[in-house]
Structure 1
Amino acid sequence: MATMTVIPKKKTKKVPAKGMMDNVMQQFSIAADYIDLHPNIRKILSITNNEIIVNFPVKMDNGEVEIFTGYRVQHNNALGPYKGGLRYHPTVDIDAARALAMWMTWKTSLAGLPYGGGKGGIQLDPSKYSKGELERITRRFTFALADNIGPEHDIPAPDVNTNSQTMAWIADTYMSMRPPAERTANQHVVTGKPEGSGGLEGRDRATGYGVFLNIKFWSEKNNQSIKDKKFIVQGFGNVGFWAAHFLEKEGAKMAAVQDAFGSIENQNGITVEDLFNYSKANNGSIVDFPEAETLDSKHFFATDCDICIPAALGNQITKDNAATIKATLIAEGANGPTNVEGEQILLKRNIAIIPDILCNSGGVVGSYFEWLQNRNGELWQFDEVIAKLDKKMKESFNKVFEYAQREGLDMRTAAYCIAIQRIEKAYIQRGIFP
């Protein structure tokens, strides 16, 4: 039987901030100070609502049992159900989940969605397990977590090293645990499912497409063309690939790529589709791609380019490498890829940053569309989805850009101010339960 620990709200204050949590708290404080956030609401938003840790056993293919630790942090639900991804990665811990959950709260609020923020996952390296083992791990995690998620309470989605297949296993396990009459009504317990299992057409590319759209909107505002611009991508997974795909279609050139295995460069351009096919045939690695040269990973961010897209993990751009970046625009495809010290250096160098809570919000907007589709028993066509995504992303970008221009702020602080003020308004209107 799985063991579960629910850490109550009052205890989270005693956990010292570190890593990504320290980063997101600094970002929050900058915006909260600027808008003079009400002290009581500041206290509420500074901590998480719930933190769930589950330890559960799974039988491996060789018959041995391995114990896994899974996390789900629910930061805030003032605007609606908790929403956020589940990642499978060795770096997953309670601190990372707290930070990512908080970022989701700001992201969903900024996008104007009826959601709060949550995040979680399992601390493991999925490359070390078979597909059958990953299915059993996922289903056992869902069983352990089932009382803490739900289509109107907390709605997970794919994240690093999870995908539509992972979501299908979660949905099937969760629905199997409900009474027969309620099973199909709970299909929207997760988003990012395969199209044949209630998924949304185009959801696979929504995050990367959103990154591309934000780059396009920024370029238009600055009277620039994407055509012939050079870009580099850190992380060639779902987000990095689709962002690169759409940029290439606009005439931009991919000059360098970095993944967990190594880095490559070709200043004449790396064909996105060719690299994608190569990595699929090479166990997901871009290393030794014949149309590019090997690049020292330590110098990846110093590569000559116009646009840099960090689309991997958090805290990648720091004081140690920010001064070497040659790009004039950073488009954050990952969550928290730039820490506060790194950002200060970039801003002093007049390098623009499209912040994560705006830049990669296409994924959660797509998730919202899927959730609505399932909830209402509808079936949306691809063209309709893309048109809705275009409209929603443009509204968000314009809102942030105009606020930043009007107030003389960087785009991250502007985005945070807008997101936090929406939540503050909800608390002021409703009051706080005694």
Structure 2
Amino acid sequence: MTDQPTATTTEENKFYESFSRNFDNAAKYTKIDRGMLAQIKACNAVYQMQFPVEIDGEIEVIEAYRIQHSHHRLPTKGGIRYSSVVNQQEVMALASLMTFKCALVDVPFGGAKGGVRISPRNYTVKQLENITRRYTTELIKKKFIGPGIDVPAPDYGTSAREMGWIVDTYRILGGEDINASACVTGKPVQIGGIRGRTEATGRGVYYATREVLQDKELMNSINMPTGTAGKTIAIQGLGNVGSHTATICQKEGGMKIVSVSEYEGAIYSADGIDVEKLIKHRAETGSILDFEGAENMDDRFDTLYVECDVLIPAALENQLHADNADRVRAKIVAEAANGPITADGEKILLDNNVIIIPDLFANSGGVTVSYFEWLKNLDHVRFGRMDKRFNENTYISMVNLIERLTGEKVNVEEKLDLTKGGDEIDLVRSGLEETMITAYSSIRAEMKKSDIPDMRSAAYAVALNKVASDYSQLGVFP
């Protein structure tokens, strides 16, 4: 274990500094004791590791982390990211954010996060597997993973593939545990994953954005009509989160994607970009550039500055800051990534009357569906198995009764639609939608009750009060 470092203003820990300032801003709107606030803010366990892996016949020492922010609820929960810029301050901030994200959406976990300091594109699949299994071994040795201890998930640079390697390693080394599958979420469906997990964070961003766009009071404050149809979007990042966010916004919300940026550059089209075709184009060419019907932009960061209704940063943290936030022309910024706006950048945006949908809320779809997956693994039964056919038979009986009483017939397609029982993915999406709607209602209620001017401080205040209540119930504080 390492001592907790003090956050400074250096480039590598701006994210942690922003988290700290956001926490302190929200704390002012609560009545929580200062001592309890200090405990809630602190990371409970910081594990920094260095482990050797053979790469191309040579030994490479890998730097990695697993940080558990809060043990007020167990297990702790949070993703593992693979990135060449991973550092302890970043992982601390992400772990801390997870605690309040879970509390906001009523998911019974403490926050955690993991990071491995590598660039995945520099390694073969076999090398990545070796690194992942070695990292998992370190977590097992120190009891930093387990269904009731700490449950990782995918994050930037990782996917269901890496989660599959982790659960397999845990099963091999973790002993005979009937609940072993619950040691990690975001797994392939074939080995205990859940349908809808891959799209979950992006779908959550859509639901969060939709709720804001349907809020008449907020929309009046920025002179925008309510509803999603026709709203323009610029999106930074076309990875898992960005691609699903854009696709769902387009297909289900009727929104228009006017700009997309990625590692290799950015494109723009006032007429709209078909995201599914763009994803196919990138798979074929290796780039989003030169997409038919769109123009290449001079700089990949230009997407952040296009005129649009909603800007969705879905890449990494610290993208909007004191030096560029004043160039943003969107009316709403939805934080699909974790921490894409620094505290200084946020002040500029709020002063310019830009609505910010904070990561604490917008980005919570992933952990919500991870919770569903964890429950599925502990219950050892997929969602819908017990009641789907019963519900279908009930609905069919109801439709048949209505047909007899009215003398009218429902056509075959309508009847199939009306009488369909919920599959796993239907139930997951329904549960996620309900979670996001409820969380949004609690944020708006807190804004009005405590006269909080911004959504982020209100979201933190809601979460802080829940965590403080848990500590009190545990008897940790009088």
**Normalising by structure 1, what TM-score?**
0.94
Measured after TM superposition, the shift of residue 281 of structure 1 is 2.4
> Are residues 343 and 15 of structure 1, via their aligned partners in 2, closer, same or farther at CA, if it must alter by over 3 Å?
closer
Which runs of no fewer than 5 residues in structure 1 stay unpaired? 1-5
SS at match of 1:278: helix
Measured after TM superposition, the shift of residue 280 of structure 1 is 2.0
Contact 2:105 / 2:439 at 8 angstroms: preserved in 1?
yes
Contact 2:74 / 2:150 at 8 angstroms: preserved in 1?
no
Partner of 2:155: 159
CA distance in 2, matches of 1:135, 1:193: 15
Contact 1:13 / 1:47 at 8 angstroms: preserved in 2?
no
1:33 equivalent in alignment to 2:23: no
Equivalence map 1:69-218=2 (5 Å):
69-146=63-140, 147-179=143-175, 181-182=176-177, 184-218=178-212
CA distance in 2, matches of 1:433, 1:40: 9
Deviates more, 1:247-256 or 1:166-175: 247-256
> Are residues 33 and 292 of structure 1, via their aligned partners in 2, closer, same or farther at CA, if it must alter by over 3 Å?
same
Measured after TM superposition, the shift of residue 51 of structure 1 is 0.7
- Pick one of 398, 413, 417 that aligns with 2:461: 417
SS at match of 2:307: coil
Q: Which runs of 4+ in 1 moved over 3 A?
A: 13-18
Residues 84-143 of structure 1: CA deviation (Å, up to 9, x unaligned): 000001111101000100000110011111101001110111001111111111011111
Partner of 1:322: 325
Report the AA paired with residue 158 of structure 1: P
Partner of 1:65: 59
CA distance in 2, matches of 1:13, 1:241: 36
Partner of 1:12: 4
- Pick one of 412, 430, 446 that aligns with 1:387: 430
Contact 1:314 / 1:336 at 8 angstroms: preserved in 2?
yes
Report the AA paired with residue 242 of structure 1: H
SS at match of 1:34: coil
Partner of 1:227: 229
Measured after TM superposition, the shift of residue 13 of structure 1 is 5.5
Measured after TM superposition, the shift of residue 79 of structure 1 is 2.5
Report the AA paired with residue 441 of structure 2: N
CA distance in 1, matches of 2:46, 2:291: 42
Partner of 1:3: none
Contact 1:256 / 1:266 at 8 angstroms: preserved in 2?
yes
CA distance in 2, matches of 1:97, 1:158: 14
Measured after TM superposition, the shift of residue 298 of structure 1 is 4.0
Partner of 2:244: 242
Same amino acid, percent of matched pairs: 37
Report the AA paired with residue 242 of structure 2: G
Partner of 2:291: 289
Partner of 2:409: none
CA distance in 2, matches of 1:407, 1:308: 28
Contact 1:54 / 1:145 at 8 angstroms: preserved in 2?
no
SS at match of 2:113: strand
Measured after TM superposition, the shift of residue 178 of structure 1 is 2.3
CA distance in 1, matches of 2:302, 2:7: 35
Residues 345-385 of structure 1: CA deviation (Å, up to 9, x unaligned): 11111111110010010100000000000001110211111
Contact 1:79 / 1:109 at 8 angstroms: preserved in 2?
no
CA distance in 2, matches of 1:13, 1:313: 22
- Pick one of 23, 28, 39 that aligns with 1:44: 39
SS at match of 2:62: strand
CA distance in 2, matches of 1:268, 1:341: 34
Deviates more, 1:51-60 or 1:188-197: 51-60
Residues 266-312 of structure 1: CA deviation (Å, up to 9, x unaligned): 111110101111222234x3233333211123432111111000111
Report the AA paired with residue 45 of structure 1: I
- Pick one of 260, 271, 281 that aligns with 1:257: 260
CA distance in 2, matches of 1:282, 1:131: 21
> Are residues 13 and 428 of structure 1, via their aligned partners in 2, closer, same or farther at CA, if it must alter by over 3 Å?
farther
CA distance in 1, matches of 2:244, 2:290: 21
Partner of 2:476: 432
1:55 equivalent in alignment to 2:99: no
**Normalising by structure 2, what TM-score?**
0.86
Measured after TM superposition, the shift of residue 172 of structure 1 is 0.3
Contact 2:266 / 2:301 at 8 angstroms: preserved in 1?
no
CA distance in 2, matches of 1:344, 1:32: 17
Partner of 2:355: 352
CA distance in 2, matches of 1:30, 1:326: 25
- Return the index of the structure with the highest Cα Rg: 2
